[in-house]
Structure 1
């Protein structure tokens, strides 16, 4: 029997990345097919669930940092199924006037978001595709809540590795930069090759090839190159567990993240021999990652 919260047309016969991630975080909006998928991924790469939790913790730290920096508007793209520590809860806990727009391509994520936000006039959940930035930026609900004449924090946390090179991730980021005023921010995280269990990563990649969702894990250098036109704030592009850490026991290393600000012109971290970004290679290598070619990780980009 289909639960009443499930939107019409939602496919529950194939693993869904948003629902798999929801299950990894202890949520309830998932099905047997999603749970079995995650169990299989865990067998192949035991770090999958820890990485999902590390990414969620990173998101919370980023939002708190942005609120402290004075940001009061958030556009969270690839937001996933709402669970504990949502952006609006984190932001509005400190800044009750903060406004949040969640955007996701998954109908289950959007429908559940709409349900929990019914009584919150400062947060909405809309359906949208990151590959179509113009549609997001012109969506009536987005424009009704966010004032793009004021700074906005655009959150792309663990979503860009769902985007094929052919869809131009750098161009997508550039379009959001063009739509926001100086003093706006972009926060992102992205899967990277990990050296602790490259074989396990590869096997998880094979699992995802059986679903509608594919991953493109890229090097630090590749991801950093997308941020021309943004000023990367301290501590720069680092493993997500090392971005203003609160839990020094977090050892996840297969994703990196950064927060960047508009208004300072084209800024990139200085290069060092070997093609890595200054400072990142030392931290990244010590976290157990490598400069290997493309591989894939097993967690959902929408937190």
Structure 2
């Protein structure tokens, strides 16, 4: 008999099948994951020990970028591939800076959506939609998205640690161009993306194991390839840099960069 699932798990969940969102949650120290997620995460860390460091670097970049944008006057956020809520969520940071902010989370993972819905049950300024962010036209036309966000005004599009899951380069470029075309001038795109510099052998083994376990491939891209995706958008200082080096705490030591750490940028649509 299958054990009873926790109340945050949807009925459609297979607890024996690892999920990228739940593996990431575990790497961040979260508790919304199953034993299968923890086991595969442990195997991935055995291959590339800095994986948890990279996950934390990505989360830290997201939080710093949202805070920067909220205080800069951006009051609309579309978080694509938002994952499982953890400390310092987008709506918490944005609303602290601007009580009028609105946030839409998009994720395909049933657990991520179930937990987000519970968290946002009493919040009229943030919502979650279960959808695959790669179906970008469907996302942009979704009634919950269009009801919450005004595409005639500047907004922030968050693509944090998700675009490397789009393994087809043409599809990734098309998605990015479609987003850029839809948003109003003055909008920002927040992007972070895994790379693989240095010794590729362990990293490639880790990616292969992750794809085998979760069914989702990973396409690390070079700095030049990530810059090409950004196209004609104008980079905000300090530009396209390692995630941990994007506007770090000025009072803390300069963050260490690991081989797997990806690049990050905030860019403006002219």
TM-score using structure 2 length? 0.93
Which ranges in structure 1 are unaligned for 5 or more consecutive residues? 264-303
Larger RCO (CA within 8 A; separation ≥ 6)? 1
Q: Report the count of equivalent residues.
A: 262
Residue in structure 1 matched with residue 227 of structure 2 by the alignment: 224
Residue in structure 1 matched with residue 263 of structure 2 by the alignment: 256
2:144 to 129, 141, 145: 141
Q: Distance in 1 between matches of 2:253 and 2:195?
A: 20
| Greater than 2 Å deviation, 4+ residue runs | 197-200, 247-250
1:59-80 alpha-carbon deviations (Å, 9 max, x no partner): 0110011112210000000100
Q: Distance in 2 between matches of 1:171 and 1:219?
A: 18
Which ranges in structure 2 are unaligned for 5 or more consecutive residues? none
Q: Distance in 1 between matches of 2:76 and 2:125?
A: 10
**Contact conserved, 2:22 with 2:37, CA < 8 A, in 1?**
yes
Residue in structure 2 matched with residue 191 of structure 1 by the alignment: 194
**Contact conserved, 1:54 with 1:252, CA < 8 A, in 2?**
no
1:249 Cα deviation from its structure 2 partner = 4.6
Q: Distance in 2 between matches of 1:167 and 1:84?
A: 34
2:208 to 206, 209, 218: 206
TM-score using structure 1 length? 0.83
Moved more, 4-13 or 16-25: 4-13
* Structure 1 residues 38-57: aligned runs within 5 Å: 38-57=41-60
Q: Distance in 1 between matches of 2:221 and 2:160?
A: 15
Q: Distance in 2 between matches of 1:48 and 1:248?
A: 21
RMSD: 1.3
Residue in structure 1 matched with residue 128 of structure 2 by the alignment: 125
1:200 Cα deviation from its structure 2 partner = 2.6
* Structure 1 residues 148-297: aligned runs within 5 Å: 148-165=151-168, 168-195=171-198, 197-211=199-213, 212-246=215-249, 247-253=252-258, 254-263=261-270
